[in-house]
Amino acid sequence: MAISPYTILEIEDIETNTEKEVHPSMTYEFNFDIGEFTENIIDEIDALRQFIRKAISTTRLKYLIYDQQYGCELTDLIALDLKPNLLASEIERVIKEALIYDERIKDVTEFIIDYINDQFHVTFKVITNTGTIIAEEVIS
């Protein structure tokens, strides 16, 4: 069927795909203790947990291998030596920005930020697109 300005298409004739395509999350496991990937393959929640930890611990724009969205400005933020109250609100913002762009993550919520012995202890929940809730903790 040729389409011209005079052709009237019925709604049924137009195919639309409104579902977002989600890519598999299989990846190699990263050993954070030695800073290297292992031969083990992880998927789904384990892969997402690894992404969360790695994205937060990687300084944004520092490594050319990552795009501009990957990573977090947490280290740079803490180096600014801001007052704890201001720093706490900024910590929440940079962690959320580091994670929310991933297609598997729907939201990052319920931040609890404590300042203990010159360190920030941050706990938060990551809500996935499948409804799974992952609790995470960061100490800086």
Domain with residue 92: its CATH number is 3.10.450.40
Mean pLDDT within 28-39: 92
In this prediction, residues 63-80 reach a mean pLDDT of 85
Q: Is residue 1 part of a domain?
A: no
Task: Tell me, yes or no, whether 92 lies in a domain.
Answer: yes
In 3D space, the residue among 98, 104, 96 whose CA is nearest the CA of residue 27 turns out to be: 104
What integer is the mean pLDDT of 129-135? 86
pLDDT band at 133 (very low <50, low <70, confident <90, very high): confident
Question: pLDDT tens digits for 110-119?
Answer: 999 888 887 7
Quote the domain boundaries for residue 92.
Answer: 38-139
In a domain, 76, yes or no: yes
Burial of residue 34 (number of CB atoms within 10 Å: 0-12, 13-18, 19+): exposed
Measure the CA angle with vertex 70, ends 132 and 52; round to 5°: 30
Residue 4 lies in a domain: no
Nearest to 99, CA basis, from 60, 44, 56, 47: 56
Task: Encode burial over 47-68: b for 16+ CB neighbours within 10 A, e otherwise.
Answer: bbebbbebbbebebeeeeeeee
| pTM as predicted | 0.75
pLDDT at 4: 56
- How much of the chain exceeds pLDDT 70, in percent? 82
